[in-house]
Structures are given as C-alpha cells and as structure tokens.
Amino acid sequence: MTEGGRKLTLTDIAKLAEVGVSAASNWRKRHTDFPRPTVVSGQELFASDEVARWLSQRKIARNGLQPDEAPGTTYGDRFIRNGGAPAPRLQAEPSHVPAGARSDWTNKLWRIMDLLRGDLELVSAIDFIMAMLYLRTTDPELWRAVTEQRSWKAVNWMLRDVPLWEHEVPLFPAVASNLSGEQQLMDAIRLFDQIDLDSVGSASMFDALLEKVNRDLGRHGGHFTPPSVVRCMLEVLDPGSTNTVYDPSCGSGELLVAAAQRGVEALSGQAMNGRSLRMTLLHLSMHGREAKLRMGGPEIMRGAFAAEQFDVVLSNPPFNVTLPDDIEQDAWPFGAPTKRAANFAWLQLAVHQLRPGGRAGVLMPNGTLFTGGVNAEIRRKMIEAGVVEGIIAFPPRLFAATGIPVSLWLIRRPKPGAPAPSEILFVDATSMGATNERAQRVLRDDEVANIVQEYRDWHDFGRRGNFDHSAALARPVGIEEIRQNDYDLQPRRYVREEIHSSSLQADTPSARLESLQRELDGLEERAKRTRRDFDTRLNALHGSTARNRREVPLGEICDIHAGPGTVDRERGLAVQGWTPLVLPRNIKRGHVSHDELDTVNPETSAKLVKYMLRPGDIVCPRSGTLGRHGLVREAESGWLLGPSCMRLRPGGEVVPEYLVHYLNSPEVHRWITSKSRHSTAIPHISAATLRELAIPLPPVVVQREIAAAMGLIDVHIEQYERGASTMQSLRDLVFHSLSLFHPA
C-alpha cells in the first residue's frame, strides 16, 4: 500500500465511518485540521491513513453507539473495523499505553460506573473512582486489605477516616451516608483492582476521569480550564522553577499541575469549597506534586493567603460571584466592587497578592473590559496605576460549560520608583481556534505559539521601540489613546482599527474582487458535489422507505416531558458557572441556538435536575409560535429545559435526526396548528395531545439514510446562503469600483 494508504472520496469516508455524507462534510467544513484532499481527474480524494488518524480522536456519542460498541469507541475504530485502514497509533493516548490496554481499562471503568450509578449521581460515582485510584496509588498495603474484605461494612469502617495527605479532608466523603448497595460497591472495588495501572498510568487515568467530569457535567462538575488555555497562560507568564506561584481559585487544580510540570516547586492554592479542595489535592497527588492548599474566597483581607505575596498569580476564577454583605470593610486598592457579579474583586486580589515586580494572568468575562458604573471607575484606576500590562481576547466556546468569550487580563505590580508604563498590549485572538466534535473551540499549538511570541517580543523589545508586531493580531496602545476611548479595553477596538488603516492600500479593489470571485467558484464547486452526493443517496432510497414502514404514535417512541413553570434566571446573559436555559427563542433551524441564552444559578440548577437535557433529546415550544423542533447536540449536554418548552426523548426505535426532520415538516406543522388551543390569543399544545401524533417509522437503517439525505439538503441550503452573501459583497464592490471611474 502506498504512503497515506488508499484514496477515498468523502462518500467513501462516510460509509466506512457509518455516518451520513452530511456529517462527513461537516467534519471537513468545521475542522481546519481535517485531512487535505488531492484532486484527481476533478475529484477530491483523501488518504485513508490520515483519515483514520483524524477519526480516532473523535469519540462516538453514547446515543450513537451500536449494540456491539463500548462507550469510548471512536469513529476511527469503526472506520478501521470496516476496512478503511490498518489500525493507527491513537494520538489521544499516552505513548506508553498499548492500544489494547486503553480499550480494556476504559471498558472496565464504564462497568464500574454502571455499578455505582445505582447508588450515586455521576459526579459522586466519578469521585468514588478517583478515591479508589488515589488509595491504590498512594497506599498499596491498605488497598490490598480493602480488596480482601467480603462486606462493605468492613470496608466502610476501614476507609471512613482515611484522609487526603495531611489535610482534614476525607478520601471517601460519601461513604458513611450515601452508599447502600453493598454488593455493587464490592464488585466495583474488585473490578477496579483488575485494571493494570502499570500499563495505564495513574495520572493518565485521573486526567481521563477529570475530562469526563468536564465534558459530561460541565458547570455541575466544577469550573475547569481547557488545556489549550492553560498552555497559553503558562507560556505567557512563564514561571520559573524558583518562582512562587499562587492560584486564588484553584478549581480542579489544572493551573497548579501545569505550573508544577514546568518545574515550579513553591505552589499555593485557595479553594472556594470542599469539592475544589479535594479535586485539587487528588489532581496534584496523581501527578506526584504537592502544594499549600487552603479554603477561602475573593476577599482581600480575609482570604486564605491574605498576608502572603507571590511572584506569579494564575487563575480562572468563577465569574460573577456574590460577595458578603460586609465586604466594604475590606481594603480594596482601587475601590469596593459590586457585591453581585464582583469580577473586579478577583482582579484586585491578584494585584494585592503580587510581590513588587510580580505578574498575574486572570481569566475574566469580556464585560470587565467595557462595562460602566463602579466597574468603569475601578478599571480606570487600575489603568492609571499602571497595573494592567495587557489584554488577550480569546474566541468564544472555549469552555465546555459556557459559550461566552473570555479574555486574559495580564496584571503586574510595579516596583517602587519604577517609571509609569506608557502603553498596554492588546492581542485579538477571537478568530483563532478549531471546532472539535462537541462544537467546542480549541486553540491550536501554532496559534498559542503566535500569541506567546507577540507578547514576548513586545515585553523584550517594545520599550526600546523595536517591537515589529503583527497588525492582524496585536498592537501596543498608549495610555492617552485608551483615555480617549473612555478606558475601554476591548482588543478589537484597537487592533482591528490598525488593520483597517494599514491595509487600505494593500487590499485593493481588484484584489478583493479576485478573492470574492475565487470564493464564489469554490462555493459553486462544493454545491455541485453536495448535489451529486444527494442525488446518489436519494436514488438509493427510492422504494426503501415503503418497505416495512409503519405508523406509531409519538408517545410510544418518545418520553415527552413538559418544562418547569417560572424559573429565577439571569435574562439574556451567559454567566460562567451557571446553567443555560433552553427557551422557545433558542429553537432555530432544527437545532438549539447559543444566542440570547438565559442562565440559572447552581442552586436553582440543582433543583431542576430532572429537566436536564442530553444529546439526542428534541425540544419544542408548547406555547407561542408552535411547530419548531430542535435537536440537542453534545454542545448543549447538561443544559436545562426551560418554561414554555417540552422535551422529547426518543427511544431505540427512532433515530433522533430522522425524527427532528419529520417533526419540522409542513405536515406536522399543520397538524400541530389544527390541534393547538388558544388562551388569550396565544396558541398552546399539551404533551398529551402531542403524544397522539402519528409518526411514519421505516427501519432504523432507512431512518439513518433519510436523515443523512436531509442533512445534505441543509448543507446545500447553507452553501447557497453563503453564495448569496458573497454575491452581495461582490455586487457592492463592483458598483463602488465602477462608480469611481464614471466620467464627471
């Protein structure tokens, strides 16, 4: 076989991965790292080995698994099984873990999870597994004694007082009160004992569990900083082995672990609650690291390390925390922050905890860059005091728990007598990042390197006037210009203006015209390929839909559940750490929109757990504008069903993608309109009525083919919409260019 393996069309890839052609097309369209094709006789062909490696990094959602596929199976596994390519080395695995070993231990973990879920919620089940991992790794003798017991009562007595390190934090916090299924618990311990930790690695297993908490639970599992963002923060601040590093809100300990892996030995962290303290202790321990950890909050004088100062402060604190009523008594250096949504408490705490000459990086919501009132005054004082060194604006959807964009505040504490800084560096990285299979953006290694290089070049050469910055990414701005913009710190305000002014001559009308024409040509060619794929699939479907077709009431194939009544929420604001609420306005074009999201606080969210959404659910309005249905994807997993909505949870007889297409059909819209009732001129429909809707149900394999064909039509619509938008831009440019040469 030639290097790269055999050559495949996009249709071949879809068939071997057992997905619709539209799904394969979306992979190619949305992921910049998707393998590049070669063109042979006008047809795009992809190297099978490259495709296999790429697919092996993308897990199949649980509701998409086939009966013989274990949780954790990737599209690459399916692709290889169907003869797409020989098995490659999975890039997502640590190099020391054999390919077969990873499959074995992940399967055992899933079986353990199922045993524990009879007694525990998912987060508690993962906590229990982490505790077993810690005990087995740090105290093999005690672990062996545990595995030799025959009853949970004996094990419970042995473990109830086992601490994490020297801290008064119980290793198994839920053992005494929440566990009762003795046989399942003992089976879980024995099954965990069968995992070969030497081949897996304790740190690798813990990281996999932590990733699952972050992916499946989002904000319910605690705030978690994405690895690409952690890497960027550490590279920019670049703490050395002799530096002292402090995280005033250590979350799951990812920033402290990353600093330790760079050689930093003096680590300190403040945990906001017992769960954060416990997770950070476990995380550090599994990576063979230690840190001084204490419980505390964002207060200046009453924080856990109030009397200490550090060389580097790194933090991704929870946004919009509420401060105690007597917080004004604290010694705020730039003014007391608002008690509610007190983001400037964290920024001032970072300044307070720095030694003179020290530097900090604090992730903050973008509102801190421009909001008015008390925040504007604190921001002005910080800028005038010279403590703001730079702002790096990141793209949205970097976090699993929220889609809001964030920025990294680079803070410094000037040394006494040092000259006042004359400028602030702005980096606009909002257009960076590739989208993964869960619709979450990830900063690529080369993008992180570009951000870091811009900062280092400015830090090393900017003050001598030798900073040759990239106009498309960064710009140092004088304090006077920032004053003229009312102390607005949004990088786009400064970086984009320079791009515009510096590119007026370079970006000529003829160059833009040529670029738009190339874009149109590309869109037309892709539209032709999509149409050919659709025609092929449609021809194959003719006649198959009539065979073995039956009609069943919707209530027989779906669990239909109405949303809650009135819910206390933050309207139209995505607050980090809070749970998005799906409302009728968020149901658009067969999906759930991430725009104009209302959010609810963690306390309210915990009370609404029965309304939690998972991938494959379908949501629809039950009052107002009826007949719209949206499919819940991985990106919306863990969100909540809101008021005036209903949730449809399909069973195994129906493919969710097929069902949502049928529910959005004109026939169903007419049926719902005819069955709806009106109260004060507002139409509404009940769950009982919706259960009576007749659904045509061909075999599952045919449903998948129909859904794939409909997906191709959606892709075709998007292509024509983009083409229309590009053509409008071309029209405006041509008119403007021709009008310049019109004779007077």
Token pair, residue 70, equals 């274990």
Residue in the block written with tokens 């190619």: 28
For 60-92, give one letter per residue: b (16+ CB within 10 A) or e. Answer: beeebeeeeeebbbbbbbbbbeeebbeebebee
Which stretch, 254-258, 414-418, 438-442, 452-456, has highest mean pLDDT?
Answer: 254-258
Report helix angle 700-740 to 656-663, nearest 10: 60
Residue 305: partners with Cβ closer than 8 Å, 6 or more residues away: 246, 248, 268, 270, 294, 296, 353
User: Span 24-40, mean pLDDT?
Assistant: 78
User: Span 248-259, mean pLDDT?
Assistant: 92
d(CA 433, CA 442): 5
Alpha-carbon distances, residue 303 vs 234, 244, 279, 296, 387 (angstroms): 24, 17, 20, 5, 21
Digit-coded pLDDT (tens) for 562-592 = 999 888 877 655 555 688 899 998 898 888 8
- Asked whether 451 and 429 are in contact (CB, 8 A), the reply is yes
Amino acid at 699: P
What is the three-state SS of 22-50?
HHHHHHHHHCCCCCCCEEECCEEEEEHHH
Nearest of 325, 277, 330 to residue 167 by alpha carbon? 277
Residue in the block written with tokens 């109260």: 679
Confidence tier at 36 by pLDDT (50, 70, 90): confident
Cα angle: 477, vertex 482, 485; to 5 degrees: 135
Digit-coded pLDDT (tens) for 12-26 = 898 898 888 878 887
d(CA 642, CA 604): 12
Cα of 369 vs its chain's centroid, Å? 22
User: Span 373-400, mean pLDDT?
Assistant: 91
Host H or E run for residue 343: helix 343-353
Digit-coded pLDDT (tens) for 166-197 = 556 666 654 444 455 667 778 888 888 888 88
Cα end-to-end distance, the chain, whole Å: 68
Cα of 338 vs its chain's centroid, Å? 29
- Asked whether 410 and 388 are in contact (CB, 8 A), the reply is yes
User: Span 677-702, mean pLDDT?
Assistant: 84
Amino acid at 357: G
In the chain, what's the furthest Cα-to-Cα distance?
99
- Give the count of beta carbons closer than 10 Å to the beta carbon of residue 317: 26
Confidence tier at 120 by pLDDT (50, 70, 90): low
Confidence tier at 48 by pLDDT (50, 70, 90): confident
Residue 387 pLDDT exceeds 70? yes
Digit-coded pLDDT (tens) for 497-542 = 544 444 434 445 666 666 667 667 766 766 676 677 677 767 666 6
d(CA 475, CA 491): 8
User: Span 694-709, mean pLDDT?
Assistant: 85
Confidence (pLDDT) at 544: 52
Q: What is the DSSP letter of 356?
A: E
Least confident of 249-253, 488-492, 596-600: 596-600
User: Span 383-395, mean pLDDT?
Assistant: 95
Which stretch, 88-97, 114-123, 389-398, 545-554, has highest mean pLDDT?
Answer: 389-398
- Asked whether 592 and 617 are in contact (CB, 8 A), the reply is no
Confidence (pLDDT) at 358: 95
More confident residue, 571 or 360: 360
Residue 155: partners with Cβ closer than 8 Å, 6 or more residues away: 146, 149, 185, 186, 189
Strand order in the sheet with 423-428: 292-295, 266-271, 244-247, 310-315, 354-365, 406-412, 388-393, 423-428, 474-478
